[in-house]
Homo-oligomer: A and B are copies of this chain.
Amino acid sequence: MANIAKKVSWSSRAEESGVAGERTPLFNGSEQPRLSRQLSGGGSVFQIGRLSTVDLEEEITSDEDSQRGRPKEIPHNEKLLSLKYESLDYDNIENQLFLEEERRMSYMGFRCLEISRWVVCGLIGFLTGLIACFIDIAVEELAGIKYQVVKQNIEKFTEVGGLSISLILWAVLNSSIVMLGAIIVAFFEPIAAGSGIPQIKCYLNGVKIPRVVRLKTLVVKVCGVICSVVGGLAVGKEGPMIHSGAVVAAGVSQGRSTSLKRDFKIFEYFRRDTEKRDFVSAGAAAGVSAAFGAPVGGVLFALEEGASFWNQMLTWRIFFASMISTFTLNFFLSIYHKNPGDLSNPGLINFGRFESDSVAYNLYEIPLFIMMGAIGGLLGALFNLLNYWLTIFRIRYVHRPCLQVMEAMLVAAVTATVSFTMIYFSNDCQPLGPEHTEEYPLQLFCADGEYNSMATAFFNTPERSVRSLFHNQPGTYNPLTLGLFTLTYFFLACWTYGLAVSAGVFIPSLLIGAAWGRLFGILLASITSSGSIWADPGKYALIGAAAQLGGIVRMTLSLTVIMVEATGNVTYGLPIMLVLMTAKIVGDYFVEGLYDIHIKLQSVPFLHLEAPATSHWLTAREVMGSPVTCLNRIEKVGTIVDILSNTSTNHNGFPVVVQVTGSDEPAKLCGLILRSQLIVLLKHKVFVELARSRLTQRKLQLKDFRDAYPRFPPIQSIHVSQDERECMMDLTEFMNATPYTVPQETSLPRVFKLFRALGLRHLVVVDDENRVVGLVTRKDLARYHLGKHGLEELQVAQT
């Protein structure tokens, strides 16, 4: 609790950096000095420089492009909160324009809107399913070609000797494919690296992540993930699907593409953060659904991550999108597999069918499962810890794009070498079954009619390996093979996650877990000689996979449902849930989940579900930013421009106040206006004087705000002449006249609850006479978290 005292944040540094000096020029021409003392407060006095916060989605100019690949900007300290991230405006801006529009709309109008929301969700599901289908087919085809080439080569050289040539061929093939994937990610769109799940979690949490839902990101992501999977890295193609779905949703719902400069003039009503975020959650759900064939799991994922903003109609639409997505994938894959109508491929990963009778479990096995959960938690924590150190190392030393590409190539080559060595030195020969379940059986040094069992694990796409670990007959793998495989794949996967390639961590986790789970089952069967119940190691492979995945990513509820749906057997619900819970509890004791680690390393102001348990003694007064920059209801243009141009504060929301004329009392709150709104007003020169002179001037409409959304121009690009600076602006019509407020004495958990439940961006703190005393934003709440030594406060960092 002592940590809370050393506030290195806002207010204390305000004095050091000489804000007072800056203040004077800022308010040149301001006729109301009474206001100015509220301006440029403690808030954010650091130089944010070129990263204008309102304009995170601006087009990156060429000189910025060269810097973008360098994650030097990313503060690599999880004790910091970055100021560069802004919140989404999830709360409706209920100003007069909005209310007028809503009041004008008939009941049929609302029905039509609702129908178009359903149409959009259907489209999102369909397109996401198509993308999943495209990725799957591309990977199948390309990997097929690669494995055939390598297999033929190996077979050729097995007879004549000189297998090292095969090794080199394999390694070079892998490296060059991965190089392709790494280049597009590292040089063109670094945000497309990794699985994208942390980014989507943040977006759904309400944080604006720059460039995350762009068309370019989608293209790079899709091509990147194909390259990394075909390149034989220890990665999956499932995580990126979630990101892809989100991008599809953000694109489709807006009815236009800024990148392609096409505006279809549809869905204009949806051009605001509230609606867009709702659709993005549907897209993420559709992605999950396509990835795992788990529509309900997708819905729960969207709910878990976008938790606070529950809305039933929205949930239905999300479910609809998920259903359509898995159906589309299933339908097109059934055609691809030349078996139309056989809807047995609901997801990219297919666990195969677990029949209840063959793999039933007993009550006395549950403690064993829980034990496996604990092992999974431990291994997961180890994985996360190693990856954490690796990420820190990468942030420090591997931040150039070319270095990143080289690392990715290195990993690809090492993966191929290790795989080859493992296969080479393995002498685990298994008879080739009559039904040819193996896609690419490698005979190598085995007798005719046999194949190398290590090769099924390594010489295969990871999805197939998982399936064979779940379903192959008992005796297919010997324990040594499984042990070695677990060990090597664990480190390979850990090294791979965080490379500058698009790739997910779901499948590698499942694979590691399935391997040691199967090993566990085999050992168990050998210890207890009796009883056929132990005989099937596939069951333990499933539980191990769940434990490992739970230990690494720690998403209990949606993960359980995803696993249950992917298994297609509800009987396994309870054991899977218990395993995931144990893994989470054990893992959380050591370190956070992998996604949370990466979110923290990016210093994102992520709001958790609830305020820290022991934060009842903090009140709004202590957490709020103060003093606040306020605007008058009728304000001078010059003042507004100066406030917006002030790069040292860079506020985004401004309480609008009313001064009691002649009185010396502080001003009373009467509304709230956003930077983006002011920018649009300035751009359209909505000045009182001009309205009087030009009576015919078109009244500003909501459409003007929507057209500017989401890439509002920066204030620097708006030219205001010296004459215009003297004009006045009437904000009455545009401000949100009924912002949410809390009294100063409100406890932090209560503030938190209000903020989170309504998805707010700015919460005005008022005294008992309704005068503005402070403003609570996301950073003020995200700062407090429960550390090892009680409540801790994060520092707010510049970048």
- Please give the residue numbers on chain A whose beta carbons come within 8 Å of chain B beta carbons, in ascending order: 92, 94, 99, 102-103, 105-107, 110, 293-296, 300, 303-304, 307-308, 310-313, 315-316, 319-320, 323-324, 326-327, 330-331, 341-344, 346, 356-357, 360-363, 556-557, 560-561, 564-565, 568-571, 573-574, 577, 581, 609-610, 613-614, 616-617, 658, 668-670, 737-738, 740-743, 745-747, 750, 753-754, 757-758, 766, 768-770, 786, 790
Contacts and interface: CB of A to CB of B under 8 A. Distances in A.
Nearest to A770: B770
Contact of A573 (B323, B356, B561): B323
A557 B669 CA distance: 42
Copy number in this complex?
2
Given A103-B617, A570-B346, A745-B738, A750 B320 contact: no
Contacts of A327: 574
Closest 5 CB pairs of A and B: A110-B613, A102-B616, A310-B310, A738-B746, A757-B757
A470 to B, nearest CB: 17
A313 B609 contact: yes
B312 A110 contact: no
Contact of A568 (B300, B570, B577, B740): B570
A548 B316 CA distance: 20
Nearest to A365: B341
A307 B753 CA distance: 16
A295 B570 contact: yes
A746 B768 CA distance: 19
Given A570-B293, A613-B110, A670-B768, A747 B310 contact: no
B577 A320 contact: yes
A743 B738 contact: yes
Nearest to A92: B750
B312 A310 contact: no
10 contacts: A106-B614, A293-B570, A304-B315, A307-B310, A307-B311, A323-B574, A323-B577, A568-B570, A668-B768, A741-B741
A360 B346 contact: no
Nearest to A613: B110
Residue from A296, A570, A758 with most neighbouring chain B CB atoms (10 Å): A570
B770 A346 contact: no
A754 B750 contact: no
A568 B571 CA distance: 10
B99 A616 contact: yes
A110 B307 contact: no
A110 to B, nearest CB: 4
Contacts of A669: 768
Residue from A107, A668, A753 with most neighbouring chain B CB atoms (10 Å): A107
Contacts of A313: 609-610
B356 A557 contact: no
Nearest to A560: B319
A330 B572 CA distance: 12
Contacts of A326: 573-574
Contacts of A92: 750
Nearest to A619: B738
Residue from A102, A294, A668, A754 with most neighbouring chain B CB atoms (10 Å): A102
Given A105-B613, A296-B296, 12 more contacts: A94-B750, A99-B616, A105-B614, A323-B577, A343-B361, A344-B356, A565-B570, A668-B768, A669-B768, A737-B743, A769-B769, A770-B770
A747 B363 contact: no
A311 to B, nearest CB: 7
Contact of A737 (B324, B557, B745): B745
